[in-house]
A and B are shown apart, each in its own frame.
Chain A
Amino acid sequence: GAVVSQHPSRVICKSGTSVKIECRSLDFQATTMFWYRQFPKQSLMLMATSNEGSKATYEQGVEKDKFLINHASLTLSTLTVTSAHPEDSSFYICSAREGGHEQYFGPGTRLTVT
């Protein structure tokens, strides 16, 4: 149980374009989903917390107009990186929790902006 999927697993896009990443909880309803970013050899950095049907709560320093988060249902959250630039290249990971405190992570999406 507690399986979280992400799509795509890897994406390459040109600078200035937008990229959408999907996060799905496959066998449970996720009351809360989280989006993280991780640069090579660095720790996880929480970007935002989203609850189904509510606006996401962004961490300090994360531009909400650049990283659009939609949590439209209890099993799906999306992260859209708008007007991507090379410095946005990173490993984006979502996680989801059902009702307890355990967070289950998706496999991650590796974004490369050229």
Chain B
Amino acid sequence: QKEVEQNSGPLSVPEGAIASLNCTYSDRVSQSFFWYRQYSGKSPELIMSIYSNGDKEDGRFTAQLNKASQYVSLLIRDSQPSDSATYLCAVNSRGAQKLVFGQGTRLTINP
């Protein structure tokens, strides 16, 4: 079992709809969770971090964390074609310096 798992996609969503990206992790002591966006040929960009159970909203983005289910998700409301990218889920365990990344989900927003 991979430490951090994401559906590789591609996930296609019509413009204006809600895109839902999911991630599960295996290490129960994980305590920090991140979503990065990576455009083709570019480096990852941090878009959300979440540390406690529940929802965290930032503009059109909402991160959701459920530690009991070892599940973290990212919702993108009012999806735009510029949201088309690969979204990486990353997890950090207590005491660890490095992040463990999922394989990424490729999202395409169709005009």
By a beta-carbon cutoff of 8 Å, the part of chain A in contact with chain B is: 2, 32, 34, 43-44, 46, 49, 51, 93, 101-108
Check if A106 sits within 8 Å of B32, measured CB to CB.
no
Binding site for A on B (CB under 8 A): 32, 34, 36, 42-46, 49, 88, 90, 92, 97-99, 101-104
**What are 20 pairs between A and B in contact, CB < 8 Å?**
A32-B97, A43-B88, A43-B102, A43-B104, A44-B44, A44-B88, A49-B97, A51-B97, A101-B49, A101-B92, A102-B34, A102-B49, A103-B46, A103-B99, A105-B36, A105-B46, A106-B43, A107-B43, A108-B42, A108-B43
B98–A105 CB distance below 8 A: no
Given contacts A32-B97, A43-B101, A46-B98, contact A102 B88 (CB under 8 A): no
Using A34-B98, A101-B92, A102-B49 as known contacts, say yes or no to A93 and B104 having CB atoms under 8 A apart: no
Shortest C-beta distance, A39 to chain B (Å), equals 13
Taking CB atoms, residues of chain A closer than 8 Å to B102 are 43
Q: Are B42 and A107 in contact (CB under 8 A)?
A: yes
